[in-house]
Structure 1
C-alpha cells in the first residue's frame, strides 16, 4: 500500500464559516471546534474556541460501530457531546443549531477511508457542526505528539487493544495500514499479547510446548491453580473474556524476569512496532530525514523497559534518524489540533489548547 493522497474533509465539502452571533452566548463564547476522540472503551469530547480556550468537556462510553451499528455508536458520541455542551453552558447541538464551525472526530474502528466517510455522513447528519472531518484515532496520537508550530510531519504507532500506524506529510499526504487484525497482517496489541501468552502457557502445561513461567503466572493472577482451571473459567464464562487484558502486565513482568518464552513474545511485539514505523517512514520518504516517531496506546505508554529498549534498538537499525518519543497527552488534544489546523488557527491557539491538556 502506497502513500495516500492528501486528506480532505469527509462529509459535505463546505468551507469553514465565521462564527455566527445568532445563538445564545455565541458572540462571547464562540465554538470553533468540537473535538471528539472515541476509543473502544471511552469517548472524550471538547468544545474549543478559536483562540484555543476549552469551553467544556464531556465523556461517555466506548465507540464500537462494528458491534452496535453506526447509529448506536454515534449515539454514544452524542452523550459526550451533550456533556461537553452542558459543561460549557451552551445549548444542546442538533440540526439547525450546530455548536461548532468544525467537527473533528478521531475514531477507533474507522480503519478504512470508506468507514471514515460513512461515519462522517452519520455524524454530519446530527448537525453538530458546519463541517465534519473524521479520522482514524491513530491520527489523534500523531497530531497530539507533534511539537507546536510548523506543519504536521511524522509517524505514530498506537498499541492499545490492537495495533495501528499512520504517517503524515505537511502537504496532507498520509501513509496508513488497514489495521483489521490478522486478515490485514497485524499482530499484537493488548488483545493479541494476552492471547499469545495464553497459547504458550496452555501448551507448556499440557506438554505440547516448552516450559514457561507463564503457565503459573497467568492463572495465578486470577487466584487459580493451573492453566486448566483458567481455560475452563474462560470457556464457561466464569471469568469474562474481557478480563484477559489484565494478563498483559503479567506477561511483561514474566519477560523482565528472564523467561525465554515471554521474552520472545515481547521481542515480537517490538519487531512489529519497528516494522510499522519504518515502513510508514519509507512510504513517506522520511527514512533519511529527522522525523518523529510517536508511540501511544496503553501498551506503549506503560513504561515496559524491555519493550522500550527493543523498539529503540530496532528503530536505530532501520530508521537511525527517527526521533522516538511517547505521547502521554490525551488523544482528544490531537482531535482538537486537527480541527484548529482545518480552520487555519494561529499558533497561539494551538499552544493554549496544549496547555489546557498538559
Structure 2
C-alpha cells in the first residue's frame, strides 16, 4: 500500500492529509501559521505538528510515505526555498516537493496536471504550470511590485472613492452611505478628519461593500471590481504567454473569497475571462470548489508517478471541506 501526504499552509492555518492511492483519507492534522515569511520558527513548528497529527491518525510513520507535497504560502522565490528546504527536510519525509500554495490551488481545481491559478482573497497572486511541468508565478508581491487589489487593498479603494466623491473629484456613489454606516460616522467630513487625525486604517471587510453597491448598479463600485478583473486577467494572460500555453486547452482556476463567493454578478470574472481568451481562446475559467489541500495530495501522487483515476477525484471531491472530512476506519 502506498501512502501520500498533502499539506496546505498559509498565514493563519496549516492543513495536512494522509491518503492511500485510492483517495481514502486515513488521517488529517491541522495547526496554525505555516508561512515562514511571517515567522519561520513558528511555521516550522506548525508544519511539523500538522504532519505528525495526520500520520498518527493514519497509524503510519514518515518512512511509509511514498511522497509528501507541501503547498506553502510564501514559497515564492529561491530565497524562500533556501529557507524552506531545511525546514521541510527536518520533518522527516524521505521524498517531498515544495511549491507555492497557488500551485496546489490550481491542482485542486482541475483534473489536469497543468493550467493557471488566480488567487484573489486578502491579496492577489497568479501561477501557472504547462504540459512540460514548467512553473511560473506572476505577481503576489504587493502593489509596489506590480499587483493591484485583493481585499487588503480594495478596502482602501472604497475609502478613497468616497473621499473623492465627497470633495468633487468623482461622481456620487452608493459606497458613501454604506461606508459611513459600516464605520459609524454621520458625515464624510467627520470620517475624513478622524482617520487623518488618528492615522486609522480601513478594515479589510470594507471590501464587501463593493459587491453590495455593484449589485445596486453603482458605477464606481462596478468600475473598481472591473479593474480587479482586468488586472487578474492580465496576470493570467501573461502566465499563459510566457509558458507557451496560448493554443492549449486548460483550466484557469479562480481561488480566494472575492472570486469564489463575492463576485456574484461577474464584475471581476467577466473582464478576466475576456482578457484570458484574447491570449488563450481554449482556456476554461472555473471556480475552486474543494480545499486546496486536495491539490497537494493529487500533486504528491503524480510526483510519485501515479495516474489519478476518475474514481479518486470523485471520491475526494465528495468529502466536502477539510473540516467535513471523516477519517476512514
Shift in CA distance, 40/231, structure 1 to aligned 2, threshold 3 Å:
farther
Query: Matched residue pairs, number?
Result: 316
1:351 is aligned to 2:321: no
Distance 1:322 1:292 in 2: 6
Deviation at 1:229?
A: 3.7
2:290 to 326, 329, 340: 329
Question: Which residues of 2 match residues 280-299 of structure 1 at below 5 A?
Answer: 280-299=239-258
Aligned to 1:64: 35
Aligned to 2:119: 158
Question: Which sections of structure 2, spanning at least 5 residues, go unmatched?
Answer: 321-329
Shift in CA distance, 347/233, structure 1 to aligned 2, threshold 3 Å:
same
Equivalent residues of 2:139, 2:235 under 8 A apart: no
1:267 is aligned to 2:229: no
Q: Deviations over 1:271-326 (max 9, x none)?
A: 01111111111112222232221111111101431223333333344433221111
Aligned to 1:110: 75
Alignment TM-score, normalising by the size of structure 2: 0.85
1:200 is aligned to 2:161: yes
Alignment TM-score, normalising by the size of structure 1: 0.79
1:258 to 177, 199, 217: 217
1:145 is aligned to 2:109: yes
Distance 2:317 2:170 in 1: 51
1:85 is aligned to 2:55: yes
Aligned to 2:327: none
1:134 to 69, 93, 98: 98
Aligned to 1:3: none
Question: Which residues of 2 match residues 202-217 of structure 1 at below 5 A?
Answer: 202-207=163-168, 209-217=170-178
1:177 to 114, 138, 143: 138
Deviation at 1:99?
A: 6.0
Aligned to 1:124: 89
Aligned to 1:304: 264
Equivalent residues of 2:6, 2:70 under 8 A apart: yes
Equivalent residues of 1:224, 1:230 under 8 A apart: no
Equivalent residues of 2:290, 2:317 under 8 A apart: no
Query: Secondary structure at 2:94's aligned position in 1?
Result: strand
Equivalent residues of 2:163, 2:192 under 8 A apart: no
